[in-house]
Structure 1
Amino acid sequence: MRWILLAISLLPHSLFAEVADVDLNEVSEQQNAMKINKCCEDNELMVDSVCRLVEQYNQSAWIPKFKTEDGKDTKVKHYRFINGIPRCETTQQRPIFDLGKSEDQLNMLSDGRLLHLIHHKHSTEDIKEDLSNNIYSIHENIALPEEREPASYIYEQDKYCMDKILLSNSNITGVYALICVPEVKINWRDTDFILKKILNPLFHAIAMVLFLLEAIIYFVLPTLRDLAGNIITTISVCLIVSQAADLVRIFTEFSNHVSFMITDIILYISLLGAFFWLNSFGFYIWKTFKSRNVFLRVTDVRKYCYYSAVVWSTVIMMAALAICAHFLLDTGTNPNRKMRSHFSSSIIDNDIEQETIGWLGIAIFFTPIAFTIIFNVFFYVTTLKVIKRINIYGRIHYKLKGCFDLFLQLSLIMTIAWLFLLLSWLNFDGLIYAHIVVNLLQAILVFYVCVVRQSHVTFLLRKSCCYAEPVPTGEWGDEMTHMNGGNY
């Protein structure tokens, strides 16, 4: 009887010990389980690039299917999810979509790594059909050979996250991955890399310095701060901003820290402002020559304020229309539209998955520029007819004649540079290289025609810098001094 009572008293302790051993084994197995990065929470899936609860869409959560590196199915007993997107540090992030018919295939390896295969076995017609049906393909406008070995990339456990995705428009499900693009080894002997990643930023920096010097000269010298000088200064500042914005877009590896939407807007607004101010420069010359009395009673400061109000209000209105058109009317495109950067040299670094201005917004930005070029041609032709009818030149006509020549030269230089910018979007290497060179030539030529070729400007620079003499402050002092042979 005593032994029976002793056995009964020890039975709960033994059961508790067995349960404790089971719990400890489960905890140990959970800690030692293979880690898999899941983009959303365990009870969520990706719906159009946004995490949503699976119950809301009558879907199941993502269950990983494991494969070996040679593509064979395999099983993993213990794994656990690490929720959240990867931390890519200095490299960029890029989403990849495996939707069955797409060229991209995502395989979860049995050791927790992600294998990304890019198949190139489709014909060109099949690729175009897939691209037209699948807005999430990451290989737009690429003509691939019909037979090629698939390219493969392997991402470590903390360099990716994976999840199930549902496209609400077409009700298509697939697999989604957000990966950290691996750093590409730099080939310093590659001509494409040297032109796009070294010379192009250098040319942008030189252009910004030249435009800055030009703006400082026209802003500091008192006799150049008339309406024409202020317009040239404003054009130079707009070109500086456009060069800075375009410089940011060259370095695509910093896309995690830079919004290309913002840089696009700044670039296009500054270009639009530069051409609008150039158009106002031609309008000012045309209106003054057409006027019967050139001795107008409106000061240059007041006229510059009028021109500023008209130009900047128009630029802001066109920018607002372009941005609204991009977000409201530019339908049928991927909400995570990428910017195809022609300043990248590798397949990994060639696609930037960020929101950028669509073609409709670009058209609204660039169509007014095309119209300003047409108006500039009109101003040039009509003003030239008036100049040919003038027999006697006064000092104001002499100054306006120089402004007219300067307007013609600036129009030609900026128009040619703008056309090469448009041609560079065709993604032909030759046109891209030409745009890089023309961008530098634009800055050099603008500085030459606005500073070096203007004899009264060089005279004022020599007077103030070399001889340390006071600069004349009269309204037409520099032109009169130049006309009198440089003698006071």
Structure 2
Amino acid sequence: MTGTSQLVLVLLATSLALQLVGGSTLDAASGAQPEGLQDERDRIVLAKCCEEHEVLLDHACVPLAEANETEAWRPDFESEDGYPGAKPPRLPRYLFKYGPPRCRSNENQWDVYHYSSSSDTLVMLTSGKLRHYVPDQVDEIVKAKELYGTEFLEPEDVQAKAIHYDYPFGHYCADKAILTKDNLSAIYAKICVPRAVKWASTDNLIRKAVDPALHAIAVVCYLVVAIVYFVLPQLRDLVGNIVTSLMVCLIVNQCASFITIFTEFGNHINFLATDLVMFISLLAAFFWLNALGYYIWKTFRSKNVFLRSTDKKKYCCYATCVCGCTVAIAATAIFAHFTLEINKPIIGGVSFEAQETLGWLGLSVLFMTIAFSIFFNLYFILTTKNKLKRMRTYGRIHHKMKYNFRTFILVCMAMSIGWVFLMLSLSKYNGLVYCHIILNALQAFIILYVCVFGQKRVTFLLGKTCNCCISNENAEGMEWGEEMTAINAGY
């Protein structure tokens, strides 16, 4: 047996021994775990307002004997999709934690009593959540028909569509309550509810008035850029078509973002679909920006810019690549959300049923792709700037591409900064949200200025087309090549 084969055998034996030792160590560690700890992990946690052998007597926790009670409170469970007459659910194993909930700074504690003639209904779900059905919305088929516009509803449909709030552990406590004044026994819960928002508050005005107005202004800015580059025939080259497509994606993004502002209209809005449209259109906009950067980068690297296919064929090629990449990444994000997402964010309201929105896993797929596209754009910018420094002479196409390159840099900077603050605004901190609202409109103004009013060639063509704002500049005062544009345009 050679030395190499002996070494292989020694390594295999060592690896096997380490695996056996590691496995026995893990078994010993798991075997040493107390059974009580394992049982506790298998149970759901419920919040009880009073101690184990206490009940609530006239708003105060007292022992069972003092309240003339023999048994402590035990919850009656229902499944989340249960309805009257449904099969009773399998009772879960649970563990009590005692004490009132600790509400957040923007929440208030609210007492709810559930008894036979009360309008409120409290239900303990098998998941450990406390469900509170809103008054006048439980088991009323007529009210459900008025809300949802149907001629007939099954009992399970009424229960499923009834308006309710679900409170997880930490946002409620429940117990049995004895009210001596009214001589009745009830189920009591102390829940954390959001404070009422005043319309005139600064936060509400910024989110519900200023933000929609700035979204509308941003849509107008992007629409002006798209119309200018689509209508003027001198701008309908490959760069102009890419800019138009980029503006269309940004307009769709702004419209979808505008819809998500008004979460109180949840009956008419699918938040998951709106979020997908908003973020996928933003992803497509960055892919179009990538296409523009690649085209400029490739033009400066090409040795002969005249040996090229038509702009129409190139645009079809770029559009196919952008649409294909967008569809592939979007499909990956949707697959990740529906199959791999564990904690799906929920939006619920008083007037609509709770809905799920796009989770962090799907967002991470979309946002990481945008981050990589920004890195590619940075590479295009740096390499193209180095190429420009080494160039001694410029042709007409290179000169035109030089100004397109400047436009690309400024648009890329504006969109990248806007994306960063969009990502930061998802943390829900008011300051970051306000910064995103302002920068969202500022980004639109910057793109409008860079693409239209900041380019003499575009303003010159607009002035000639609209017969207004025509300056008396001579050829020396114009950018190099602009006088050729005037000749080609027939002015």
Choose from 267, 286, 291 the match for 2:278. Answer: 267
State the AA in 2 paired with 1:408.
I
Tell me how far apart the structure 1 counterparts of residues 448 and 278 of structure 2 sit (CA, whole Å). Answer: 21
1:82 shift after superposition:
3.0
Tell me how far apart the structure 1 counterparts of residues 188 and 145 of structure 2 sit (CA, whole Å). Answer: 19
1:467-486 Cα offsets, whole Å, 9 max, x none, are 699xxxxxxxx987614595
State the AA in 1 paired with 2:439.
V
1:54 shift after superposition:
3.8
Contact 1:93 1:353 in 2 (8 A): no
Tell me how far apart the structure 2 counterparts of residues 118 and 313 of structure 1 sit (CA, whole Å). Answer: 52
1:142-174 Cα offsets, whole Å, 9 max, x none, are xxxxxxxxx599xxxxxxxxxxxxxxxxxxxxx
Tell me how far apart the structure 2 counterparts of residues 228 and 339 of structure 1 sit (CA, whole Å). Answer: 41
1:196 maps to 2:207: yes
Tell me how far apart the structure 1 counterparts of residues 194 and 431 of structure 2 sit (CA, whole Å). Answer: 29
1:55 maps to 2:87: yes
1:447 equivalent in structure 2: 448
Tell me how far apart the structure 2 counterparts of residues 295 and 99 of structure 1 sit (CA, whole Å). Answer: 67
Tell me how far apart the structure 2 counterparts of residues 412 and 152 of structure 1 sit (CA, whole Å). Answer: 39
1:422 equivalent in structure 2: 423
1:338 equivalent in structure 2: 346
Choose from 233, 238, 252 the match for 1:241. Answer: 252
1:380 maps to 2:381: yes
Residues 1:459 and 1:352: Cα distance change in structure 2 (over 3 Å)? farther
State the AA in 1 paired with 2:431.
G
1:187 maps to 2:199: yes
State the AA in 2 paired with 1:368.
T
2:52 equivalent in structure 1: none
Tell me how far apart the structure 1 counterparts of residues 209 and 87 of structure 2 sit (CA, whole Å). Answer: 52
1:429 shift after superposition:
1.0
Tell me how far apart the structure 2 counterparts of residues 425 and 199 of structure 1 sit (CA, whole Å). Answer: 18
1:4-46 Cα offsets, whole Å, 9 max, x none, are xxxxxxxxxxxxxxxxxxxxxxxxxxxxxxxxxxxxxxxxx96
What is the DSSP-based 3-state SS (H/G/I as helix, E as strand, rest coil) of the residue aligned with 2:393?
Answer: coil
State the AA in 2 paired with 1:234.
S
State the AA in 2 paired with 1:55.
K
Choose from 165, 188, 213 the match for 1:96. Answer: 165
1:82 equivalent in structure 2: 139
Tell me how far apart the structure 2 counterparts of residues 204 and 56 of structure 1 sit (CA, whole Å). Answer: 50
2:459 equivalent in structure 1: 458
What is the DSSP-based 3-state SS (H/G/I as helix, E as strand, rest coil) of the residue aligned with 1:96?
Answer: strand
Residues 1:107 and 1:309: Cα distance change in structure 2 (over 3 Å)? farther
1:399 maps to 2:400: yes
State the AA in 1 paired with 2:466.
C
1:370 maps to 2:371: yes
Tell me how far apart the structure 1 counterparts of residues 453 and 187 of structure 2 sit (CA, whole Å). Answer: 59
Q: How many residues align?
A: 352
What is the DSSP-based 3-state SS (H/G/I as helix, E as strand, rest coil) of the residue aligned with 2:166?
Answer: strand
1:88-117 Cα offsets, whole Å, 9 max, x none, are 859x9864236776526699999xxx9996
**Structure 2 unmatched runs, 5+:** 1-76, 92-109, 122-135, 149-160, 471-477
1:203-260 Cα offsets, whole Å, 9 max, x none, are 0000001101110000000010111001110110000000000000001110111000
Higher relative contact order (CA 8 A, sep 6+): 1
Contact 1:451 1:457 in 2 (8 A): yes
1:55 shift after superposition:
3.2
1:405-428 Cα offsets, whole Å, 9 max, x none, are 111001100000000101111221
State the AA in 2 paired with 1:436.
I
RMSD: 3.9
TM-score scaled by length of structure 2: 0.63
Tell me how far apart the structure 2 counterparts of residues 418 and 249 of structure 1 sit (CA, whole Å). Answer: 17
Contact 1:98 1:105 in 2 (8 A): no
Contact 1:338 1:352 in 2 (8 A): no
What is the DSSP-based 3-state SS (H/G/I as helix, E as strand, rest coil) of the residue aligned with 1:440?
Answer: helix
Identity across the alignment (%): 40
1:449 shift after superposition:
0.2
What is the DSSP-based 3-state SS (H/G/I as helix, E as strand, rest coil) of the residue aligned with 1:451?
Answer: helix
Aligned pairs (5 A) from 1:54-203: 54-55=86-87, 57=89, 76=117, 82=139, 86=144, 89=147, 95-97=164-166, 102-103=171-172, 118-119=190-191, 186-188=198-200, 190-203=201-214
Tell me how far apart the structure 2 counterparts of residues 411 and 485 of structure 1 sit (CA, whole Å). Answer: 26
Choose from 308, 313, 318 the match for 1:297. Answer: 308
Contact 2:225 2:247 in 1 (8 A): yes
1:229 equivalent in structure 2: 240
1:48 shift after superposition:
3.8
Residues 1:441 and 1:152: Cα distance change in structure 2 (over 3 Å)? closer
Tell me how far apart the structure 2 counterparts of residues 430 and 349 of structure 1 sit (CA, whole Å). Answer: 27
